[in-house]
Amino acid sequence: MKGLAEGRHWLAKRPYIIAITITLVLTLWMASGLMQAEEILVAKQKKAIPIAKVKVETFFAVNINDVVEVYGRTEPDRITTVKAEVSGKITRVLAKRGSMVKKGQVIARIAINDLQQKLQKNEALLKLREIEYVGAQTLNKDGYQGKVQVSRAFADLQAVKAEITRLNIAIENTVIRSPFSGVLNTRYVEEGDYVDRGDSIAMVADLDPLVVRAFVTENNISQLKVGQQADIRLLNHGHRSGLIRYIASVADDATNTFKIEVEINNKDYKLLAGLSSEISIALEEVNVIKMSPALLALDEKGNIGVKSVLDNKVQFTPINIIKSESDGIWLSGLGQQADIIVLGQGFVRAGDMVDPFFASNELTSTASGTQ
């Protein structure tokens, strides 16, 4: 009893301790009430949010070749514009526009004019210069002429020989020939036209093989090599196969793409230059799933992918588009199979719990499409 009395006496002298104790008790009591209120509110919110119901279909992958698809244009294997190398009037035109010409075939003739007479004159002068040179050598041996006269006679002889060579070339150049076999696509002259040196006579194009030129991005150029086979779809001309014959080593500055050339056999010359083309180059095999592009979605970062369900939880899987067709697109990155959300994907996000239901029990191997 004595101890209790002493305790009361001690507390009586220190009333602030009683106040602090009462304050702590009240604070703990109020905090416990708030926590219980929050727990009740969270529980109510959980009960209020329903689980979304989504329609799901199972897609199975198949193996196809990954492809690089680019658009290009057909071009001649080589093309040149034949120009006049002498001046004169066109006396004959021997090749029609659009006709096939062989290498060395005569396209047109330019008037020789006085070239033949000049040649005969210089051939006669050549004999004189030869006699003068021999005479100068003989006089030099006998001591009547010096080396200067011999050298001048030799120079005159060489000048005549050079002029004869020039005239022979000029006469040969009056005959305009095709530099290689091909199509005479354009002829710029008619009989009676006057041409000067450098004037265009005709344009010849070699269309066998035909070349398809296209540009490939830096992401795909490392997967290609010279000699690789390519499939070419030509507008209104069906499919043709060809081989890559050239890959640029330097990218185009404006587009940062690399030029490639694919050659097509065109011995019958039925394919023309300037046709729009779609080139498909097969790469390694990959597992792909075919589906409608309407099933594609974007995540918060803007990545393109597909929403699927695993253990009643939404998953977002980034994908790669391998190729597209009229009835769907081929995607890689989804594995051997995936349960894809086909209805309601716009109302759920990755990580959400859902209540999936399958439209049917049929297994869709390629989303109602075949390769």
| Coil, strand or helix at 120 | helix
- Structure confidence by residue, pLDDT tens digits, 236-268: 778 899 999 999 999 998 989 999 999 999 998
CATH architecture of 52-65+285-358: Beta Barrel (2.40)
Give the lowest-confidence range in 42-46, 75-79, 150-154.
42-46
- The ranges assigned to domains in the chain are 2-46, 52-65+285-358, 69-77+206-283, 84-204
The residue ranking higher by pLDDT, 368 or 337, is 337
- Structure confidence by residue, pLDDT tens digits, 183-225: 999 999 999 999 999 999 999 999 999 999 999 998 889 889 9
CATH superfamily of 69-77+206-283: Efflux pump adaptor protein, beta barrel domain (2.40.30.170)
- Structure confidence by residue, pLDDT tens digits, 109-155: 999 989 999 999 999 999 998 988 888 888 878 777 778 888 888 99
Question: Does 69-77+206-283 match 52-65+285-358 at the fold level?
Answer: no
84-204 folds as OB fold (Dihydrolipoamide Acetyltransferase, E2P) (2.40.50)
State the pLDDT confidence band at 22, using cuts at 50, 70 and 90: low
| Pairwise CA distance, residues 323 & 149, whole Å | 84
Q: What is the pTM of this model?
A: 0.61
Which contacts qualify for 88-93: CB closer than 8 Å, 24 or more apart?
Answer: 88/112, 88/113, 88/174, 88/194, 88/195, 89/192, 89/193, 89/194, 89/195, 90/189, 90/190, 90/191, 90/192, 90/193, 90/194, 90/195, 91/191, 92/191, 93/187, 93/189, 93/190, 93/191
| Pairwise CA distance, residues 281 & 55, whole Å | 37
Q: Report the pLDDT value the prediction gives residue 178, as an integer from 0 to 100.
A: 95
Q: Report the pLDDT value the prediction gives residue 208, as an integer from 0 to 100.
A: 92
Q: Report the pLDDT value the prediction gives residue 166, as an integer from 0 to 100.
A: 94
- Structure confidence by residue, pLDDT tens digits, 306-331: 998 888 898 898 988 877 788 888 88
